[in-house]
A and B are shown apart, each in its own frame.
Chain A
Amino acid sequence: MSETANHAGQPTSGGAEIDEKTRRDFLIWSTVAVGAAGTALAVWPFIDQMNPAADTLALASTEVDISQIEVGQSITVIWRGKPVFIRHRTPEEISAAETVNLAELPDPQADTARVQKPEWLIMVGVCTHLGCIPLGQKQGDTKGDFGGWFCPCHGSHYDTSGRIRKGPAPTNLPVPSYEFTSDTSVLIG
């Protein structure tokens, strides 16, 4: 470094060498820093293009008519491409969900925190383990050990409040944001 630094071919004094070095170091590091920042800025759009596009995000809410769902029936609607389970719960299911000892739950959450009206359970029907759709929506489906839903992929059991009770799933079935726009319709998202 010190040899090439001396362009004039004169013997370099100690002070000049240090001077040269610090100035060069500054130039090198500032070039590297600017280059790295510029590269990062240029790379970001190429990563961000993989995120959901505007039209994908636009499909963010769904309005559902729930007047035809009898007590004990469920329907599945699609919201953001995901199935949403809407269940008109029976009084037995509601009391089963409300009387559980929260200390026994892997992901403790009171039933009241998961519903706006106790008879209507609305949640995203995607298993929190690895994304399969749990069984339990149709009449003949197996509902698992706790009378709610059962995921056939890796054996997770959900109760009548959609809470994980047994199996590999880490958390309860998530509740989307929703509001009852009238007594017979609900807006999800």
Chain B
Amino acid sequence: MSGTSNFQSNSRVVNWIEHRLPIFSFLDSQLHQYPTPKNLNYFWNFGSLAGIVLVIMIVSGITLAMHYTPHVDMAFGSVERIMRDVNGGWLIRYIHMNGASMFFIVVYIHMFRGLYYGSYKAPREILWMIGVFILLAMMATAFMGYVLPWGQMSFWGATVITNLFSAIPLVGEWIVTLLWGGFVVDNPTLNRFFSLHYLLPFVIVGLVFLHLWALHMHHSNNPTGVEIKDEKQDTIPFHPYYTIKDLYGLGIMLIFFAFFIFFAPNYFGHPDNYIMADPLVTPPHIVPEWYFLPFYAILRAFTSDYWVYQVISLGGVLMSAKLAGVIAMFASILVLLFLPWLDRSRVRSAKYRPMYRFFFWVFAIDCLILGWVGGQAPEGILVTIGQWTTFWYFFHIIIIVPLVGILERPKPLPDSIAASVTQAAE
């Protein structure tokens, strides 16, 4: 971490500790004097927002675990007891339920911010890749958490998603049985999901520390994408300038969050999850939580007559459509790991990249359409739309991004962050 601290204290206690564990100078250099580009816009709020939502999720989750019973006969009832009998239980559960949605909202905005301003490019590749792993860990955590109330969507969501692994050749069935601890999703499954749902958030905390460590090596990117050249000219100390800006953004976010907790607590949920799990009755229309819908649409796009499937499986020889769908779904996230190398442009910010900017917005709309299709029953024209938007998702990342980086003529960059401000003022 490149951080210079001229930390000094008159307190003998502080100095005694500092001599043995230099934590005060560390915090001072990383949170107080930490030089931050002075031109950050509000899209740079979403990283700290995600961190705060993570803390809210851990605190509310640990509290819920004090009242929850991970057993198939009692899980549903214990959640209802939390809602009706436990003091303030309804509030804590609604915070936790909607907190999951807030977490994904702020993280998705945070990621698209990175895509727009080229924050994943050198020297921030590892920073970006750790972010992708955080997303994967979040998804696993959210999926297992959704199973815990043991409603109909919990049970059938778990059944469908764990069955994805049966598509793996040879060992697929063995893996599924191993995940379940039985021959169907049952009590052993619920128990282990509870255990892992409790564990994974702390893994995320660890990953967040690595993410911040990597961030503080080269400092934040900024809307111009031009590196800090002169610390005095281009940066301001994190505290108080960005602590206050982050706090302001937090206030706005919490109002948004509180609206859902108090006025539309089940808006992001599904009514079927208030019916206790019944292993003999599948609900007519199974949908995952909204934050999984784009990936669910990619999974379902792979039918045996989908031309992309025909191409990658060499006419259906190499793999089944089911396996292709599963691979595509995981690949849609894993491909992001390669983005820093797929993007050939040396200019970071889309502000100076007219062609990339156009395709960025097409890609953003493509992701929204995928999300919409993922929530609908797979019938008629929707199948075709899902297949073309799936194609575009990969085509954008694998073909368009490298090509635009080579073909595009970027606009002239400002000399420095400071110059971008003064030039704009002129």
Contacts and interface: CB of A to CB of B under 8 A. Distances in A.
B300 A154 contact: yes
Interface stretch (A2-10, A12-20, A78-86, A109-117): A78-86
Nearest to B159: A131
Interface string B292-309: 000000001001100000
Contacts of A47: 178
A56 interface: yes
A50 interface: yes
B183 interface: yes
A152 B182 contact: no
B127 interface: no
Given A50-B179, A50-B181, A133 B164 contact: no
A168 interface: yes
Contacts of A131: 159-160, 162-163
Contacts of A151: 282
Contacts of B281: 133
Contacts of A53: 181, 188
Interface string B268-292: 0000000000011110111000000
A52 B183 contact: yes
B177 A168 contact: no
A154 to B, nearest CB: 7
A153 interface: yes
Contacts, number: 75
Interface in B136-176: 156, 159-160, 162-164
B322 interface: yes
Interface string A63-85: 00000000000001010111100
Contact of B280 (A52, A76, A80, A170): A76
Given A52-B183, A53-B188, A168 B282 contact: no
Contacts of B303: 168
Nearest to A137: B280
Nearest to B379: A155
Interface string A137-168: 00000000000000111110000000000001
Contact of B186 (A81, A155, A168, A170): A81
Contacts of B183: 52, 56, 80-82
B163 A130 contact: yes
B350 interface: no
A173 B179 CA distance: 22
Contacts of A52: 177, 180-183, 188
A132 B282 contact: yes
B58 interface: no
5 interchain residue pairs of minimum CB distance: A131-B163, A81-B184, A132-B282, A80-B183, A130-B163
18 contacts: A50-B181, A52-B181, A56-B186, A56-B188, A78-B279, A80-B183, A81-B183, A81-B184, A81-B186, A83-B279, A83-B280, A132-B286, A133-B282, A152-B282, A153-B156, A154-B378, A168-B304, A168-B322
Given A52-B182, A131-B163, A168-B322, 16 more contacts: A47-B178, A50-B192, A51-B181, A52-B180, A52-B181, A56-B181, A76-B280, A80-B183, A81-B186, A130-B159, A130-B164, A132-B159, A133-B280, A153-B156, A153-B160, A170-B320
